[in-house]
Chains A and B, each alone.
Chain A
Amino acid sequence: MARKSYQEKLTELREDILYMSEVVMERLRMGLDALEQKDNEMAHEVIKGDGEINRMYLDLEQDCIDLLALQQPVASDLRFIAASFKIITDLERIADLAVNLGEYTLDAKEDLFPDVDVQEMGELTLAMIEDAMIAYDTENIDACRELAARDDDLDQFAERASEIVVRDLIERELDTPEEVEALLQDVSRLLLTIRDLERVGDHAVNIAARTLYMVENDDELIY
């Protein structure tokens, strides 16, 4: 006879993590929108909402600990909980990066580098998180491996974007120290945005890596 409440708790954990991922993706979307539209109100909303994500993370972490301590899971159940334990950390970090986008929005004056398409990069990362979570939900190992390959494209995108910024910076002629200072702040913010989105991609790959371990006991994509 299967332990019904135990199986129900495992199902609940999966559903709660999928819900957390939806909230995190929404926050990332809002961070990107705030950045694009210079929407300070939306930026504040993303920043304030981080507490909710943190509470969600801590609750799910406790759920994982309770399952480990009280149910002593083994085999695929153990791998599912171990993978979930790591995946919620990645989701929480993605939410932190969304908060960064909100803070950059509040600091930014104007879009100085129109050739850098932050929004396109953001779309790529959002799609990666969504696909990673679908792979987790459906235990699709092919999708996990495919995500790792897509992260290489994202890394190249980030490298090209950084190059554009640096090249543009070199070519600009600035007259006063104030102009230099203002530009440096904007450049640094943009480079941080690119780096943060590239890290979101890394977290999506981490989710895929843990999912592959969960399904196949395969640590191929972990580091």
Chain B
Amino acid sequence: MTMSDEQLLSSDTESSDDQPAPTPGTDGLTDSTDIDTGERSATERTLLEARDLSVYYGKEQALDSVDIEIPEKQVTAVIGPSGCGKSTFLRSINRMNDLVDAAHVDGELVFDGKNVYDDDVDPVALRRKIGMVFQKPNPFPKSIRDNVAYGLRVQGKDDGDVDEKVHTALERAALLDEVEAQLDSSGLDLSGGQQQRLCIARAIAPDPDVILMDEPASALDPVATSKIEDLIEELAEEYTVVIVTHNMQQAARISDKTAVFLTGGELVEFDDTDKIFENPEHDRVEDYITGKFG
């Protein structure tokens, strides 16, 4: 499912549900919708594109003129040393930086043909289509069912078949088998890995197009991490996943594309993950991923 103008522009949570699912690339968006280069296969249609994107916190520049095309239904990893701007980039995709008073954005972040920083874009509606999972699992102090249903209710999708959608989301998040008999138990009673998958279920319940993940496994043990990594690869069959990670081996294991940010918010290299980890183009990237720098 892709975004329609109405879905993106409206903050009326009731209005979009009756819209038929638009067909990718033919959903009546602006002329710039089709930003496919023509060189990619149909499965590599660009869904997100940063054009000369810069972000400032006050006078400090956190992202420096980033240009990048993120393909649809693939996993794109964002790596780089601390303070390189990778989380800033992630948060600029669904306008989470709007919540920071001093943040200022230049350039464009185009999502399915529409600049998300246009004045007529509603950030709340945008975040419906671009969900986010954070480093630390943050379930609400509610039941497992309500945690997942919360996303639907808040976003106006409580249309009667919530239970079915909760089940589907838990199933897609590879958690249903483990919690099916205890849906009314508190989400806080789950293990750390299960809580993170619950948060993923909450993020995918409203059926977004993109899932942003900021270090989603860094607080988990290796077994829970492995489950999350398997899940991320499965999610990419349905969603576009952009993941920030400090763990380069994790980026190498699970992503199709890797973006390397270095100091000053500069995107130095973006390419297929195997190219980045076997034969990067830039010496600075080579030095960073081999541990000679950073």
Chain A residues with Cβ below 8 Å from B279 are 75, 79, 217
**In the complex, chain B residues 266-294 whose Cβ is within 8 Å of any chain A Cβ:** 277-280, 285-286, 289-293
Closest to A76 in B: B286
Distance of B215 from chain A, by nearest CB (Å): 19
For chain A, the bracket of interface size reads 10 to 19
Chain B residues within an 8 Å CB radius of A77: 290
Q: How far is the CA of A114 from the CA of B278 in the complex (A)?
A: 51
Name the B residues within 8 Å of A73 (CB-CB).
290
Interface of B is mostly: helix
Q: List 16 A-B contacts (CB under 8 A).
A: A2-B291, A2-B292, A2-B293, A7-B292, A73-B290, A74-B252, A74-B290, A75-B277, A75-B278, A75-B280, A75-B285, A75-B289, A77-B290, A78-B277, A217-B278, A217-B279
User: Given A79-B279, A217-B279, are A74 and B293 neighbors across the interface (CB < 8 Å)?
Assistant: no
Residues of A within 8 A of B (CB): 2-3, 6-7, 72-79, 217
Q: Among B277, B286, B289, B291, which residue has the most Cβ atoms of chain A within 10 A?
A: B291
Q: Render B221-250 as a binary contact track against A, CB cut-off 8 A, 1 for contact.
A: 000000000000000000000000000110
- Docked Cα-Cα span, A79 to B290, in Å, equals 12
Chain B residues near A217 (CB-CB < 8 A)? 278-279
Complex CA gap A76/B277 in Å reads: 9
Whole-angstrom distance between the alpha carbons of A159 and B41 in the complex?
50
Q: How far is the CB of A63 from chain B (nearest CB, A)?
A: 18
Interchain CA distance A72-B250 in the complex, whole Å: 11
Chain B residue at minimum C-beta to C-beta distance from A2: B292
Chain B, 148-165, contact with A by CB distance < 8 Å: what is the 0/1 string?
000000000000000000
Is the CB–CB distance between A6 and B278 below 8 Å? Answer: no
CA separation between A74 and B251, bound complex, in Å?
Answer: 12
Quick one: which of B249, B286, B293 contacts A75, CB cutoff 8 A?
Answer: B286
Query: How far apart sit A101 and B277, CA to CA, in the bound complex (Å)?
Result: 43
Nearest Cβ on chain A to B266's Cβ, whole angstroms = 19
Contacting residues, chain A, for B293 (C-beta < 8 A): 2
Q: Which A residues are in CB contact (< 8 Å) with B286?
A: 75-76
Pick the contact of A76: B248, B249, B252, B290 (CB < 8 A): B290
Residue of B nearest to A73 (CB): B290
Q: How far does the Cβ of B238 sit from chain A's closest Cβ, in whole Å? A: 29
Closest to B248 in A: A74
Q: Give Cα A3–Cα B289 distance, bound, in whole angstroms.
A: 11
How many Å lie between the Cα of A19 and that of B203 in the bound state?
A: 57
A74 and B292 in contact, given A79-B279, A217-B279 (Cβ under 8 angstroms): no
